[in-house]
Structure 1
Amino acid sequence: MARPKPRDLPDLTRLAKPGARFEAKVIPKSTSDRMTFENGSIRIHVTAFPENGKANQAVSRIHASALGVAPSQFLLARGHAARDKVFVYEP
């Protein structure tokens, strides 16, 4: 059974430009998957645990969904083992 899509995502489609970089603060082991965008800062809460890249995959999926792009086009550039991450959109 597929996971339901998070409904409380901000609309960031206007930011989805090729080569765009996104800095995000990630909070793993949260009670729900959600994303907030305030004052140019992105904060992503995921229920996944930070083991074997599960939290990174969840963050990538949520962030790509908010941008309206495929998760495969949204790459983690920096912060594989840190809470502060940098993603790059490359179509």
Structure 2
Amino acid sequence: MARPRADLPPAAMLRALIDAEGRLAVRVTPGARAEGIAIDDGRVSVKVRARPEDGKATAAVLALVATALEVAPSNVELLRGATSREKLLRIAPFAD
């Protein structure tokens, strides 16, 4: 059975939440049934199927955010929160 496509908001909505220094705060739910990104009251929630083992969930978050923002995965960097559900990412094309 094929995996369903991730539920992603429009890239412009996510870009609006990136600060002037190119940072984006996200809350992660690893081990979810379906992958997706939701925006609720200015907060970004990311759900990934990967389990939080050996950085797999973090890597999945970076890839999903890159896909949603329509940038290369190498342009999304983890700044803080490697082992936390609360993560701070830097999006390279939007950093000054």
Q: After superposition, what is the alpha-carbon deviation per residue over 1:22-69, rounded to whole angstroms, capped at 9, x for unaligned? A: 000000011111110122100011110111110001001111111111
C-alpha separation in 1, matches of 2:21 and 2:50: 27
Q: Which residue of 1 aligns with 2:26?
A: 24
Where does the alignment leave 5 or more consecutive residues of structure 2 unmatched? none
Runs of 4+ with deviation above 6 angstroms: none
Where does the alignment leave 5 or more consecutive residues of structure 1 unmatched? none
C-alpha separation in 1, matches of 2:60 and 2:48: 7
TM-score (norm 1): 0.85
Q: Which residue of 1 aligns with 2:38?
A: 36
Q: Which residue of 2 aligns with 1:68?
A: 70
TM-score (norm 2): 0.81
**Identity value in percent:** 36
Q: C-alpha root-mean-square deviation of aligned residues, in Å?
A: 2.1
Q: Which residue of 2 aligns with 1:11?
A: 10
